[in-house]
Amino acid sequence: MTDPFITLRDICRHFQVGDETVHALDHVSLDIHAGDYISVMGPSGSGKSTLLNALGLLDQTNAGSYRLEGRELTTLPEEQRAQVRREKIGFIFQSFHLIPRLSAADNVALPLVLTGMPAAVRKTKVQQALAGLGLQDRADHRPAQLSGGQQQRVAIARATIMQAPLLLADEPTGNLDSHSSAEVIRILEALNAQGITLIVVTHDTDIGKRARRQVRMVDGKVVADEH
Amino acid sequence: MKPQDTLHFSYQALRAYPGRTALILLAMCIGVAAIILLTSLGEGARLYVIGQFQGLGSNLLIVLPGRSETTGGAPPLIGTTPRDLTLDDALALQRSPAIKEVAPIILGAAPVAYESREREVTIMGSTPSLLSARQLELASGQSLPDSNPRVATAVCLLGETVWKELFANRNALGEWVRIGGSRFRVIGVLAGKGQSLGSDMSDMVVIPVASARNLFNAPSLFRIIVTAESQGQLAQATQDIERITRQRHDGENDITIIAQDSLIGTFDNILSALTWALGGIAAISLLVAGILIMNVMLVAVSQRKAEIGLLKALGAPTAQVLRLFLTEATLLASAGGAIGLLLGLGGVLLLNQAVPDFSAQPPLWALIAAVVITFLTGLLFGSIPARQAARLDPVAALSGR
Ligand SMILES: Nc1ncnc2c1ncn2[C@@H]1O[C@H](COP(=O)(O)OP(=O)(O)OP(=O)(O)O)[C@@H](O)[C@H]1O
Ligand SMILES: [Mg+2]
């Protein structure tokens, strides 16, 4: 058997709120293989977002080991964490997090701009990505001129433009109607079919059940892990 | 991230918040314009005063009656009331080999009339030496007679303005004008010299000193202008004036001698200090602008926390976030500095046109300082919030914490 794409061992994350310590992640251990499709569910406050932020290197952890492609990430300095985020991880947020003053195309191009790719090369890549998501007519629109579903598709284009192997989505349909939700899920599953490792946090059991592997969290612990 | 992309990104960010950008630009360009305007004023004042003194001619000493202690001291005791300076006192000074010319001066005002026209002007009684000592030139005619200064002759020289007013540009030489109650023949017209130490030399009539003594019925001199043989003889001349006058005044040292050079030096120092002080005040205003910039940038950083979090989530290194914000600060500083420079120089130009006698110009050091301070404040006060932004954890920033 090949080494897992991701191994989490006894990851802990706690927050000090007043004199109380909240254990948002309490010794979480998971093996995730390349090409997996995982949903994370659980009650509110169970640590789903905290887990995804730890996987996306958006947040620190307090203890445990996180290895991605065999490389230990918890001890990396910030510069190299930024590089891993840039090259290995795409992140999709519930509230899209597009930059309001930039056009859809410029939002999608942002990760490429950060790597220093020349503008001409960027342009064709962005056009292809937008076209792939049915947004070719919306390239010059600002986020405020787009529907929620369209904004989330722009965000997906941005998260995948670097062709990172890992795609993390924290309630990607939380702000969308059922039609747009279905559309977004269809796109994410298509990406997974092409080989990307997909982890989706969701409250929607219908969506959660679609994943090949379903992780359930309660009080910072993984209580069920169904393959 | 490529430099042109960084620049473009920062430029777009500045355009996205026009109110904030305009506020910072305003603060910057007021600061820079203030430095340029204030130092120009100071420098202009300095040049103006020095020009006035140099209009007097160099090698010049001015002898005034009365002892003025510049270092303070008790008021004069009874019985030491200074003697007046007389024409004889002045003529006695010519004995000193260090002294080239002596021009005794009596000053008064009287109506001057020609035909039906009349004008109240300053009358200066002196000798021909006055013209060379004060570097006055004749536009036409001849100077005062070089004869015995104790003898009154009824001749006069007209200042340019007086001539124009009374004669309406017609020939005045040989004509008789009435000054006070006496008739004087015009023998010369002075070339326009304009202002010299506050007295308008062109709105003036010069007559022999003895005639002025008669006209105003006053035996005492207003002052004596003395020129030394050379700049190096100024000290010797000063000593001689004191010695000769003391002899004539029963051993009392009751005159004041002002050397033009030391005056210039003093004024130069004072006014240079003034220029620096004005520059300093203006620099403080730029510093205040810098603090305003920092405040606005801090607000910008908290407004844009989510954006910073996003950039970091997308893998922007800390240094890149820092660079983006510093680029914004630099763009603001260059634009604000450039506009301020134009505003300041434009203001100086306007000022010079509005006040023709005054030629304000910004000293080079002020221009350089204004530009340097603008960039320093921009970078310094821009980098503090930028640092704060770059240190944020992506989750914390994304959730606006
Ligand atoms: N920055 C923080 N400071 C303090 N407590 C925090 C912080 N972030 C998360 N927590 C706490 O950690 C726990 C897990 O939070 P998390 O956001 O992961 O929950 P979640 O499962 O995503 O909930 P939801 O379904 O509501 O999004 C919660 O109790 C929360 O209050
Ligand atoms: Mg959550």
Which residue's structure tokens are 């204004």? Answer: B370
Domain assignment present for A167: yes
**Is residue A113 a part of any domain in this protein?**
yes
pLDDT of residue A64: 96
* Helices (H) then strands (E): counts for chain A: 7, 10
CATH number at residue A218: 3.40.50.300
| Residue with the larger pLDDT of the pair A92 and B135 | A92
Q: Which ligand is nearest to the CA of A45?
A: 1
Indicate if the pLDDT at residue B195 is higher than 70: no
Residue A128 touches chain B, beta carbons under 8 Å: no
Q: Widest CA span of chain A, in angstroms?
A: 55
Cβ of residue A77 closer than 8 Å to a chain B Cβ: no
Residue A70 scores a pLDDT above 90:
yes
Residues whose beta carbon lies within 6 Å of some atom of ligand 1: A 15, 17, 22, 24, 42, 44-50
The answer to whether B394 touches B313, Cβ cutoff 8 Å, is yes
Mean pLDDT of chain B: 84
Residue A31 lies in a domain: no
User: Do the domain assignments include residue A18?
Assistant: no
Give the residue numbers spanning the domain of A134: 37-49+78-226
pLDDT over threshold 80, residue B67 = no
pLDDT at B200 over 80: no
Between the two ends of chain B, the Cα-to-Cα distance in Å is 26
Q: How far is the CA of B199 from the centre of ligand 2 (A)?
A: 86
8 Å CB contact between A5 and A36: yes
**Residue B235 is inside which H or E element, if any?**
helix B234-248
Q: What is the dihedral of CA B330, B331, B337, B342, to 10 degrees?
A: 160
Tell me, yes or no, if B7 comes closer than 8 A to chain A by beta carbon.
no
Domain count, chain A: 1
Is A221 inside a domain boundary? yes
What does the pLDDT read at residue B82? 67
Cβ partners under 8 Å of residue A75, min gap 6: none
pLDDT at B78 > cutoff 70: no
pLDDT of residue B354: 86
pLDDT at B55: 61
Q: What residue's CA is closest to ligand 1, atom 16?
A: A47
- Report the number of secondary-structure helices (H) and strands (E) in chain B: 12, 12
Is B193 or B109 the better-scoring residue by pLDDT?
B109
A115-133 pLDDT, tens digit per residue, is: 999 999 999 999 999 999 9
- Where does the pLDDT of residue B57 fall: very low under 50, low under 70, confident under 90, or very high at 90 and above? low
A22 CA distance to ligand 1 middle (Å):
9
Report yes or no on A9 lying in a domain. Answer: no
Residue nearest to atom 22 of ligand 1 (CA): A49
How high is the ipTM of this complex? 0.94
pLDDT at B74 over 50: no
In a domain, A123, yes or no: yes
Q: Which of A69-73, B61-65, B303-307 has the highest mean pLDDT?
A: A69-73
Whole-model pTM? Answer: 0.71
